[in-house]
Structure 1
Amino acid sequence: MSMPNFQARPVDVNECVRTLVADANIEVIPLKGADEKIHSAPTGTTVTITCSPKFGLERTVQHVASAISQGYQVVPHLAARMVESEQMLRDFIRRIVDLGVTDLYVVGGDADQPLGKFYDAESILLALREFDHGLTRLGVGCYPEGHPKIENEALIESLVRKQEYADYMVSQLCFDAGALVTWLRQVRSRGIVLPVRVGLAAPLKTAKLAELSIKIGVGRSLRFLTKQHGLLGNLVLGRDYAPEQLLIDIGPDLLSSDLDVEGIHLFSFNQIEATVDWQRRIASNY
């Protein structure tokens, strides 16, 4: 297993928040113009390029190549349901490795029906064991608030199996620090030891964040945020959501080796300039 972004653990919460935010991965959706928007981030930043039914694997590879050529570290997403065959899988891996990629984030994907025999992240991970792919890190998703189509126990059992082949996990969006910590303690008690990259929404206008969060199935967490952190008032006033609040609310647990928070995965929704500005503010304020 490769090492996380920072090896020496911060000694206090503020330092930890600052380090996590500075080293965060920024998720980019390969929409038209995304390769220009990425210029807002300093070269050397790690960006992750998503994979969706709308755009397919080819669009992901194109944006991976563009980002790498501009000096960024890149983690592609691979959606299992978008892989038509084992040959397509091998070709995709060969192309990204030839570009210099060493880290791959494997997900099931949002397509209603798989294009081939691969239907979830586990099926891809098993296939990757059958050839010398050249990747050194593999990530998988996890769901602190559950999945709209999969029972919680099945999710945990799947994660237990996948950790044999993976190096880290990335959590779905969550706005409830208590729910996140409780879930992490639960899965650690079940023997899941993968370090976690906490999925955090970038600083969007609150109304847009509410719309996107409901679409991707984190409505329960959004309702918590509405009640506990004045989201409703922010909606009315048009204020921005403050991502750092979740980290602050986790508090000293951020420093816990038991929870093993490796880093942050920022869902930017392609608002990269605003995301980078927020990172700079955190660096100067904490």
Structure 2
Amino acid sequence: MADTLIHPNWARPPIGITEGFSLEMTAKDEASLRDAAPLIPAETPVAITFLPGEDVGARVAATVAVRELGFEPMPHFSARRITSEDDFEGYLKAVVERAGVTRAFIVAGDPPAPVGPYFDTSALIATGAFERSGIRAIGIGGHPEGHPNMTVEQCWQVLEMKVGDIAARGMAPLIVTQFGFDPDAFLAWLKELRARGIDVPVRIGVPGPAGIKRLLSFAARCGVGASTAVLKKYGISVASLLGSAGPDKLVDAFATGLGPEHGRVRLHFYPFGGLVKTLEWIHAYNRRHGIDRT
């Protein structure tokens, strides 16, 4: 079953909306990951981002730490930030050999022009390096609120093409969306995704609890819709930007709104307020809803 190539937990029916969640971290979050480890279920997928100015050794070390702690590492590869073929394949070889990586996530990256030979994620897929290295699943980005450099139709065409290319190379495609504050936009996007015949697992991006100003800063940086009406749905009042906000209303909306028409869906948390804080929120949410397994 292709879903098990994504991760074994896809084969289990989820108990509650947060069952089988995944997390995101940066290389500098390694110490925080160790602090949060007791709160993270075994085999939880953890994505390691590819940020500018980071030392590749730090990313490799963070990936190794994810594996050593009993979780499933999924390192990012940012096409336009990769300087050369050796840079790409050297990093891929390191995480496969040292951390047993079998899943990767690919993004084009923010720079308008590549610093090396790869303009976009399709160029990385076309090298064949992932399947040669034993990668079994590839994650790609989904944009329920659109993309700043593509029309809505172009977004769908590119997504469908990449899903097809990954599957044709014998790997399992996974879509991980940008985070957002508007559940209605995500639910509508998921319905259209399935109506277009794209029937692959999806992880919905959810912002972990964080300071309101911090959340809005990330939203502006990532092109996430944050109108007054949308923020009100999420539980933020623009009249007061002090304090913190959590995704309670957003996750509640997914718990009640997701149905068979939305396909196979799990949550992916962006821990803007820190890994420990996000994990504590998940456990508190589960306890309130009678679904905590700990």
The alignment's TM-score, normalised by the length of structure 1, stands at 0.86
Letter in 2 for 1:225: V
1:252: how far off? 4.2
The answer on whether the counterparts of 1:81 and 1:111 sit within 8 Å (CA) in structure 2 is yes
Aligned to 1:269: 272
Alpha-carbon distance in 1 for matches of 2:63, 2:229: 36
Task: Quickly say closer, same or farther: Cα 1:223–1:107, change in 2 above 3 A.
Answer: farther
Q: 1:57 to 1:191 in 2, by over 3 A?
A: farther
Report the counterpart of residue 38 of structure 1 in structure 2. 33
- SS in structure 1 of the partner of residue 114 of structure 2: coil
Q: Over residues 119-169 of structure 1, what are the superposed CA-to-partner deviations in whole Å (9 max), with x where a residue is unaligned?
A: 111211121368612011111001000112222211111001011205210
- Deviation readout 1:107-126 (Å, 9 max, x if unpaired): 11122321222111121112
Cα deviation for residue 244 of structure 1 reads 3.4
Establish whether residue 154 from structure 1 lines up as the match of residue 154 from structure 2: yes
> Displacement of 1:41 after TM fit?
2.7
Residue range with higher mean Cα deviation, 179-188 or 87-96: 87-96
Helix, strand or coil at the partner of 1:232: coil
Q: Which has the higher contact order (CA 8 A, sep 6+)?
A: 1
Runs of 5+ in structure 1 lacking a partner? none
Amino acid at match of 2:11: Q
Structure 2 residue 119 is matched with structure 1 residue 119: yes
Partner of 2:200, secondary structure, is coil
SS in 1 for 2:268: strand
Correspondence for 1:282 among 281, 285, 293: 285
**What pairs with 1:1-286 in structure 2 (closer than 5 Å)?**
1-3=2-4, 4=7, 5-10=9-14, 15-19=15-19, 23-31=20-28, 34-39=29-34, 40-42=36-38, 44=42, 45-55=44-54, 57-98=56-97, 99-128=99-128, 132-164=132-164, 165=166, 166-218=172-224, 220-232=225-237, 235-236=240-241, 238=243, 240-256=244-260, 258-269=261-272, 271-286=274-289
Q: CA deviation at 1:170?
A: 0.3
Deviation at 1:60, TM superposition (A): 2.0
Q: Separation in 2 of the partners of 1:261 and 1:91?
A: 34
Q: Secondary structure at the match of 2:112?
A: coil
Q: Distance in 1 between matches of 2:157 and 2:75?
A: 25
Runs of at least 5 residues in structure 2 that lack an aligned partner in the other structure? 167-171, 290-294
| Structure 2 counterpart of 1:259, one-letter code | H
TM-score, scaled relative to structure 2: 0.84
Describe the shift of the 1:221–1:182 C-alpha distance in structure 2 as closer, same or farther (beyond 3 A): farther
- Give the superposition deviation at 1:58: 4.2
Give 1:95 shift.
1.2
Same amino acid, percent of matched pairs? 26
SS in 2 for 1:41: helix
